[in-house]
Chains A and B, each alone.
Chain A
Amino acid sequence: MAEPGRRGRAGYRAAFLVRMFAAAVCLALFSLFFLGMIRAGDPFGDMMNWQFSARAIGVGMTGGAVVLFFAASLIAGRVFCSVFCPMGAIQEFLWRASAGLGAARKKYVKPWKARYLIVALAAAGIIFAVSPLFSLTDPIANFGRGITSFALLAGGENVPVVFASVFLVILIFSCVKGRRFCDWCPAGTIMGFASSVSVFGLKLDEEGCVSCGVCERACPMNCADAGGKKIDRGRCVLCMGCAASCPGSFISFGRVVTASSRDGRRNFIKNVCGIIMGIGYMGGRNARQFMLSNGIIASRAGSSAIVPPGAMDEENFLSRCVGCAACAAACPVGIIRLTGNAHPRLVYGESYCQYNCVECGKVCPTNAIARLDVETKRKTRIALSRLNISLCVVTAKKQACGACAEVCPTHALVMESYDNGLGLTIPSFDEEYCIGCGACLSVCPAEPVAFKVRGVPVQTITPGIRQSQENEDFGVKPMAADDDFPF
């Protein structure tokens, strides 16, 4: 075994390095995405859509993608976790780097049974649309919230520190302990069901193995068991660390053929098919939506918070949002902010929702924010403005302004004659045309601001741009192309 073994070990070392490189690329792309440097439409701009939890939430419409994730895990194990997942990658890199600096390394630990409870809670969260249950445990959402919050805090913005803090704790912990987030990651655990009976995987040659323990120290998942001469394939992410370091080359990657794995695979496929068919009767909706449409429960829509255009209503939004902060990162003017419970809200003041912009819907991986076309977005009312005319500088100070009407894209606000003696005009507001973009509030110079903008229970379609005012109103007649110059 010695000769082919040495060659084999070099091969696994190469495989390990290639895998590390691929993971680094994915990590870099996700980081750029959550820093707002990759946008929808860019190459890799749609990567977000291949999150496991996100796809699971879109069950029915995008459930096919979840079957694909399962099929991939069933064939080759949890490659998703070792290559694609940025949370996994950043923990592993920090652990490998700090091991070089002398940090302690843990040995094999038994599987943590509580993770099944977390999977059950996350699944219940998805089925019954209780968003914190899945949004707080999803790996990519945690990563996204962490990076985005760090960037905002570094820029001096006033955002909740909770997400950045949680992320920091995970990172510090990973330096010493390896991929500990993965212990309770529901997406990884679910894929682990498939990978424990996968066709291909890592095998340990029990006859050659002398239980030296090198593999245990090379395993960021703590799933290589030198004493028991086995690898826990339910947790193994195929990082190749053990195969690349085994002095005798007794760990190899290949087809795993045992009677139990074959039976296990069959049972697994049967179970998955059963679950999918069971969910299928709900017509591709989660249980909460099913109960809503059948009048079993009442909608929870109706808070006054402003949600992004395309979120349609609080009900739809809370059922689907994983709180990954992709929309906050994509918003070009930075008005989408996460609240303390990881839900995006629009905060007006420094800027406002841009009339022709649909970036947040383009990046949302779960369709919590629908992909509106620009034409529809321009007419979609996401909130409603109220004008308190007694605060307006035109009435309060008798001076010209017009800032609100200037920026109002639908002419819900226009300037009308007010005091002809002073040549003043005053804003007139028609709420039928208001889309709640917050432009008026953001530019109003009055103190306190003359506008208040509140969310609407359900986003509706307005008639569009208000046709108004002829120039005769002001008693002026502009020159036409055929006229002589009026001077």
Chain B
Amino acid sequence: MDRREFLKKMIALGIGTGAMFMPGGLKRMTSPAFGEREFPDLVAVKGGSAGEMFDRGMKAIGGIGRFVRKGQNVVIKPNISWDVPANGAANTSPELVAGVIKHCLDAGAGKVFVMDHSIEYWENSSKNSGIGDAIKGAGGIYVPSDGKGYYQAVPVKGSALKETMVHESILECDVLISVPVLKHHGGAGVSISSKGLMGCVWNRRDYHAQGLQRCIADFLSFRKPDLNIIDAVSVITKNGPRGGSPSDVVNMGSLVISPDVVAADTAGAMMLGHKQGGIEHIRLAAGAGLGEMDLSKLRIERITL
């Protein structure tokens, strides 16, 4: 180490130490968002098409680059459960799924997979909903999920769920982005991000047998999405989660984006008319410290296009 190098290092060390004593310095340096400006915890957008609202909303939340690094493999988990026509409100909008894939690929993601363990026959669901074509068009990979062999049993530290079979793409991905569609659910009350993650699991019947609400919350202790993007454009407000008649659907024309699954679900449930904490599985997840249910504590950006 020569004199010049020694001086350089001392100066660098001095600046670094000094920064720690600045207001909030240590906290900021150790937070994952260090090096970025402060972004809102939750963004709610309305008044445009799903694609437009997504582009604007992502800009506000800090861009997909905050969540997806170069070369990382991403799994996108939309709702492709139902064999219903495109934009039938039971599945996520194909336009939004395509938008998320494109943002990830633009940010330099390695591979972008899309998975959902569909409830109705997968081929019809992906084809008739238009999501299959949207995935292909945007450059994503639709992974098969219609056989037990694609799933692995994993231990879960939950109050009801001790073990479940999770799709291998979820186990291996670097980044999980949940892109649910907001809707009413006859059993769970609402189906948003955390309920939608049941689509990562093979043995869903066990959830119902062991306690649906607790199992939904328990799964989050195994894996939380890194980003939640809620499609609230056309929303099934009754007879969910499949709907069936046009009178089941209300146009909300909105989108909610948040890295906090509990906050995102709370916002969605409130849009469906529930009180904060009115849905059991969201309340249980918040109680287990898996996210923030009290939206008054969060920084929320509301955008109208």
Residues on A facing B (Cβ under 8 Å): 332-333, 354-357, 393, 397, 399-403, 405-411, 414-415, 423, 425, 443-447, 465, 467-471, 476-481, 484-487
Contact = CB atoms under 8 A, between A and B. Distances in A.
B271 A354 contact: no
B41 to A, nearest CB: 12
Interface in B199-240: 204-209, 211-213, 235, 237-240
A467 B245 CA distance: 8
A480 B250 contact: yes
B163 interface: no
A476 B235 CA distance: 14
B58 interface: no
A329 to B, nearest CB: 15
A400 B280 CA distance: 10
Given A354-B124, A407-B119, A476-B272, A400 B188 contact: yes
Contacts of B242: 406-409
Interface in B247-266: 247, 250-254, 266
Interface of B: 44, 46, 83, 119-121, 123-124, 128, 184-189, 204-209, 211-213, 235, 237-242, 244-245, 247, 250-254, 266-267, 270-274, 276, 278, 280, 295, 300, 302
A484 B300 CA distance: 13
A415 B83 contact: no
A447 B217 CA distance: 23
B212 A471 contact: no
Contact of B280 (A333, A406, A423, A445): A423
B187 A357 contact: no
B240 to A, nearest CB: 8
Most chain B CB inside 10 Å of its own CB: which residue of A403, A405, A479, A487: A487
A469 B244 CA distance: 13
Given A332-B123, A407-B242, A425 B46 contact: no
Contact of B252 (A333, A400, A478): A478
Nearest to A413: B186
Contacts of B274: 476
Given A354-B120, A423-B189, 4 more contacts: A400-B188, A403-B187, A446-B209, A485-B267
Contacts of A399: 211-213
B189 A487 contact: no
A392 to B, nearest CB: 10
A393 B209 contact: yes
Contact of A478 (B121, B241, B247, B273): B273
A355 B237 CA distance: 22
Contact of A402 (B186, B206, B252): B186
Contacts of B271: 478-479, 485-486
Contacts of B250: 478, 480
A207 to B, nearest CB: 64
Question: Nearest 4 CB-CB pairs, A to B?
Answer: A402-B187, A476-B273, A415-B186, A445-B208
A435 to B, nearest CB: 13
Contacts of B273: 471, 476-479, 486
Nearest to B122: A332
Contacts of B44: 485, 487
Secondary structure dominating the interface of A? loop
B238 A406 contact: no
Contacts of A405: 186-187
Nearest to B241: A406
Given A403-B208, A415-B186, A471 B238 contact: yes
Contacts of B235: 478
B185 A485 contact: no
A470 B238 contact: yes
Nearest to B281: A400
Contacts of A414: 186, 239
B187 A332 contact: no
Nearest to A473: B238
Most chain B CB inside 10 Å of its own CB: which residue of A357, A403, A408: A403
Nearest to B45: A485
30 contacts: A354-B121, A356-B83, A356-B120, A357-B121, A357-B124, A397-B211, A399-B211, A400-B187, A402-B185, A402-B188, A403-B187, A405-B186, A411-B244, A415-B186, A415-B187, A423-B278, A425-B187, A443-B204, A443-B205, A443-B208, A476-B273, A478-B271, A478-B273, A481-B253, A484-B302, A485-B254, A485-B302, A486-B270, A487-B266, A487-B276
B124 A356 contact: yes
A478 B252 CA distance: 9
Contacts of A332: 121, 123-124
A413 B1 CA distance: 78
Contacts of B207: 445
B181 to A, nearest CB: 14
Given A333-B121, A356-B124, A411-B244, A478 B272 contact: yes
Contact of A447 (B46, B209, B244, B267): B209
Most chain B CB inside 10 Å of its own CB: which residue of A402, A410, A479: A479
Nearest to B251: A481
A355 B242 CA distance: 12
Nearest to B189: A423
Nearest to B272: A478
A480 B46 CA distance: 11
Nearest to B216: A400
Contacts of A469: 238-239
Most chain B CB inside 10 Å of its own CB: which residue of A423, A425, A481: A481
Contacts of A487: 44, 266-267, 270, 276, 295, 300
A332 B118 CA distance: 14
A400 B213 contact: yes
A480 B244 contact: no
A402 B121 CA distance: 20
Contact of A393 (B204, B208, B270): B208
B22 to A, nearest CB: 33
Contacts of A479: 252, 254, 271-273
Most chain A CB inside 10 Å of its own CB: which residue of B206, B237, B247, B302: B237
Most chain B CB inside 10 Å of its own CB: which residue of A399, A407, A480: A399
B289 to A, nearest CB: 21
A481 B186 contact: no
Contact of A356 (B128, B205, B211, B247): B128
Nearest to B208: A445
Contacts of A470: 238
Contacts of A356: 83, 120, 124, 128
